Amino acid sequence: MITWAEIVLLLLRLANGIMGAISQDKWMRAGADAEIAKVSAEIMRKTAAGKAILEKVNALSDADVDAGLRGLEPK
């Protein structure tokens, strides 16, 4: 017969497994996004228009960059 302690332990293990899978998926997406950003930055450096845009972006203050990124968030 299964005791209450075993049921609780089973539920905790299940919750831990689910949370681990969610966390792993989130880190994998973050890694993919970082790689995309790195490749995009390299392409931008190689084009004339990209160089002009990159100069404008690099001239922005941290507050301006934050404000611009906040505008990109889905509502």
Q: How many residues are listed for the chain in this entry?
A: 75
List the chain domain ranges: 4-70
Distance, in Å, from the CA atom of 41 to the CA atom of 53, rounded to the nearest integer, reads 11
Question: What average pLDDT does the structure give for the chain?
Answer: 84
Count of C-beta atoms within a 10 Å radius of residue 54: 14
* pTM greater than the 0.85 cutoff: no
DSSP 16-56: HHHHHHHHHHHHHHHHHHHHHHHHHHHHHHHSHHHHHHHHH
pLDDT tens digits, 28-39: 888 888 888 888
Task: Decide: 69 and 59 in contact? Cβ < 8 Å.
Answer: no
